[in-house]
Amino acid sequence: MNRLQGKVAVITGAASGMGRATAIRFAAEGAAVVVADLNSQGAETVISEIAAAGGKAVFQRTDVSSEADIKALIDRAVHEYGRLDITYNNAGIGGATGHLEEVTVEDWDKTFHVLTRAVFLGIKHSVGPMRKAGGGSIISTSSVAGLKGAAGLSAYSAAKAAVVNLTESAAIEYGRDRIRVNCICPGGVITPLVYRGQPGGEEAARKNMAKQQPIPRAGQPEDIAAMALFLASDESEWVTGTAMVVDGGMNTGNARIFFGQGFSGPSFQRRER
């Protein structure tokens, strides 16, 4: 407990899944959290859970593809709590899926706006306040798909690979300011983004994911929250520029899965086909 005592954290995509689990964990460890998402209802539920447990959190509605929204989010953290120590660029979508030749330019661009451009914006606007605070930790969600391509996920894989490279570049630039920049590469994690609209729902997805890596269970959002906590805390003060793989061993022999044609947006919206 209290591994983040006195720290202020911003978490995007915090209304559900990995972001939600991380917001709850950070607050339990003493951080004041700004919960950012487009899903207002889900975010308010997270805020209520944190408050009920004695933690501190506020909600800022944020479209991560908008620079104005990202700047307003960072400004809210500084205005509300006086500083910024941690930014977790976690918001994500499945994005354009299916055969590359059938992916539209519009869907390709939307995928990169949310998965890569948003990370760039999160880093860009966090550096100033963190420098004033004497340092900080910037974390982003990449994916094992950013380390190895996956059939039907060309846009997603490319966007997540860009996050890994961006992480390394930013870590070099801002190490002198004691700002650490790392990313997390999850494997198959049970979140609404993964199982919504799938035949059999969450339980079927859980059973399927348990077969995809050496450790025979699906990943939990809390698995990612635990890594995010390590990277956010002072325990990782000499760790920067890394892509931390949290996947139950999937990346040792990643199954080639075809994800179907269409576009997968935020977890609270229906999948487009």
In the three-class reduction of DSSP (H, G, I as helix; E, B as strand; rest coil), residue 5 is classed as coil
Of 95, 94, 69, 81, give the one whose Cα is nearest residue 26.
Answer: 81
Strands 95-97 and 262-264, how do they pair?
A: antiparallel
Angstrom distance (rounded) from CA 144 to CA 49 = 30
pLDDT value at residue 260:
62
Q: Does domain 8-191+220-263 have CATH number 3.90.1660.10?
A: no
Angstrom distance (rounded) from CA 195 to CA 189 = 10
In the three-class reduction of DSSP (H, G, I as helix; E, B as strand; rest coil), residue 85 is classed as coil
What's the average pLDDT block by block, 10 residues per block, for the chain (273 residues)? Answer: 96 96 98 97 97 98 98 98 98 93 96 98 98 98 93 94 98 98 94 70 80 87 98 98 94 60 66 59
pLDDT value at residue 258:
47
Alpha-carbon separation of residue 142 from 78, 93, 165 (angstroms): 26, 12, 10
pLDDT value at residue 229:
98
In one-letter notation, the amino acid at residue 4 is: L
Tens of pLDDT along 22-69?
Answer: 999 999 999 999 999 999 999 999 999 999 999 999 999 999 999 999
> Domain boundaries in the chain?
8-191+220-263
Instruction: State the catalytic residues.
Output: 156
Tokens representing 84 are 């910024």
pTM above 0.95, yes or no: no
